[in-house]
């Protein structure tokens, strides 16, 4: 490409489309500072925000004001589905469709103890499916990319970094006030994180 085209006047460069703001990232010096920051964020009434640390911090769910997860209901649904599946497969086939006398046991509901192992296993299997896939769905996983990875400092979260991230979609979010609030909590490196 000819070198002359690189020296085009600045005013001819097309304007960048406005970048979509994902949220504000802030770094905290320690796990304890992160814990107290979370308590303040909770008390200030933020809704769409999260904390990140290299290791789990006991009591953080309470400090963040997280309620009880609904995963347990998904697990219950999974368990009941598994139980119903096993009952249908076993009672349906061995009692109604192909009644066969095995080991001199009756071919009625009275023979249900023989079906318990499979009922038990399928209940557990489907509960575990409910737990794993329910958890993934609640966490919006799996996904290829997340906007927070656009922030280079955030790579330290798997090493020694403690972060608070407030999403721009939070009803209380406001560029200037939130920055001031976060720096008031002792946060450093407060950064705008963009969505692209």
Partner 1 sequence: MSAATAQHSPLTAPREERFNYNNLGPLLFGLLVATGVGFVVALLACFTPMGWKQFLFSWLYAFMFFFTISAGSLFWTMLHYAVDAEWSVVVRRILETMANSFSVLWAFFIPIVLGAGVVYGWMYGVPAGVDPALDGKRAMLNPKVWAIFTVLIFSFFFSASYTLRWLSTRQDKTGDPGCTTKSRKVSFASIPLFAVLLTAAAIFWVMSIQYHWYSTMWGVYLFAGSAWSSMATLILITQWLRSRGHLQGIVSTQHFHIMGKLLLSFTVFWAYIAFSQFFLIWYANIPEETEFFLIRNTESWNVWAIGLEVVGHFFITFVLLCPRVMKTNPKYLCYVSGWVLLMHACDIYFIVNPFLNPTGVNPLSMIFDLAALVAIGAPLAFVFLRTLGKHSLYALRDPRLPESLRLVN
The footprint of partner 1 (CB under 8 A) covers: 31-32, 35-36, 57-59, 62-63, 68, 72, 76, 103-105, 113-114, 116-117
Distance CA 45, CA 37 (A): 12
- Based on CB atoms, which residue is closest to partner 1, 34 or 182? 34
- Based on CB atoms, which residue is closest to partner 1, 2 or 113? 113
**Min separation Cβ 57 and partner 1, Å:** 7
Dihedral, 29, 156, 147, 39 alpha carbons, nearest 10: -30
**Min separation Cβ 17 and partner 1, Å:** 43
Sequence-distant (≥ 6) Cβ neighbours of residue 117 within 8 angstroms: none
Direct distance between the N- and C-terminal alpha carbons of the chain, in angstroms, rounded to an integer: 28
**Min separation Cβ 154 and partner 1, Å:** 22
**Min separation Cβ 25 and partner 1, Å:** 21
User: Among candidates 176, 194, 167, which has minimal Cα distance to 41?
Assistant: 167
**Which tokens is 56 given?**
């789990």
- Based on CB atoms, which residue is closest to partner 1, 116 or 149? 116
- Based on CB atoms, which residue is closest to partner 1, 123 or 191? 123
Distance CA 150, CA 192 (A): 10
């Amino acid at each position: 490409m000819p070198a002359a085209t690189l020296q085009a006047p600045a005013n001819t460069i097309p304007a960048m489309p406005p970048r979509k703001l994902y949220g504000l990232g802030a770094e905290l010096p320690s796990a304890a500072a992160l814990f107290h920051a979370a308590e303040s964020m909770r008390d200030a009434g933020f809704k769409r925000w999260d904390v990140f640390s290299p290791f789990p911090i006991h009591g953080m769910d309470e400090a963040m004001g997280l309620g009880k997860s609904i995963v347990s209901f998904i697990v219950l649904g999974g368990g009941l589905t598994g139980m119903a599946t096993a009952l249908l497969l076993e009672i349906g086939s061995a009692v109604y469709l192909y009644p066969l006398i095995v080991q001199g046991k009756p071919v009625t509901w009275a023979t249900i103890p023989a079906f318990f192992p499979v009922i038990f296993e399928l209940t557990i299997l489907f509960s575990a499916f409910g737990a794993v896939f329910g958890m993934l769905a609640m966490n919006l996983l799996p996904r290829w990319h997340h906007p927070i990875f656009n922030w280079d400092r955030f790579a330290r979260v798997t090493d020694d970094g403690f972060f608070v991230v407030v999403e721009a979609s939070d009803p209380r979010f406001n560029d200037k006030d939130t920055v001031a609030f976060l720096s008031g909590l002792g946060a450093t490196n407060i950064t705008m994180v963009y969505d692209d």
